[in-house]
Amino acid sequence: MATEVSRRGKAAHSTRLSIVSHGAPRHHFPTYANLLAAIAREGIEDLDRIITDSLAIADPRAALMRACQGVVDFAIQRPAMFELIARHDLLGGAGGNLRATTGQWLVALTERLREARPDAELAHALALWAGVQGLGVMLGRRGAEAITPQKVEPNAVLAVLLAGALGDG
């Protein structure tokens, strides 16, 4: 019940911000998942531009670092959207084929990683992606404050993650 109240509250809050009636989403979206997919689409499009533009940088190491920075920056600036984008359990069957976009992120990341490290395996790219996503969520939700009194420098952590994926460290 608490989950349903939370879901209804989020939908009501979103509709208030959109200046539409609280019932409007239910009239336009057959399921809650369809509503979330519609909300997520904007964030996915924004993050896709960030990742695509970053990975287009000529030097693969610089491209990977910039893409990772862009993802973490997005997560810090828009934590709820970032978490929603990662909820494939909600978005998978919600329509809009959002996975077609988000699935390409790992493919592109893996390709650029292999340019810098030809022996890189999918596991290296997955480890990098998981670390970047985890860092983004942790910093976006201020989780680092609960585990360390020191300020966490995202670029320092990203450099360690990238060095591991590239086999540098």
Query: What pLDDT was estimated at residue 96?
Result: 64
Tell me the CATH architecture of domain 39-166: Orthogonal Bundle (1.10)
């929603």: which residue's tokens?
Answer: 84
Burial label for 75, CB within 10 Å (0-12, 13-18, 19+), is buried
Q: pLDDT digit string (tens) for 101-150?
A: 888 999 999 999 999 999 999 999 999 999 999 999 999 988 888 888 89
pLDDT at 4: 44
**Residue-level pLDDT at 93:** 62
The Cα 29–Cα 60 span in angstroms is: 41
User: Which residues of the chain fall short of a pLDDT of 50?
Assistant: 1-5
pLDDT at 38: 81
pLDDT at residue number 139: 95
Question: Residue 33: what pLDDT?
Answer: 75
* Spatial CB neighbours of 29, under 8 Å, sequence gap ≥ 6: 35, 38
Please give the Cα distance from 169 to 162 (Å, whole number): 9
Backbone angles phi, psi at 153, to 5 degrees: -95, 110
In the prediction, which pLDDT does 95 show? 62
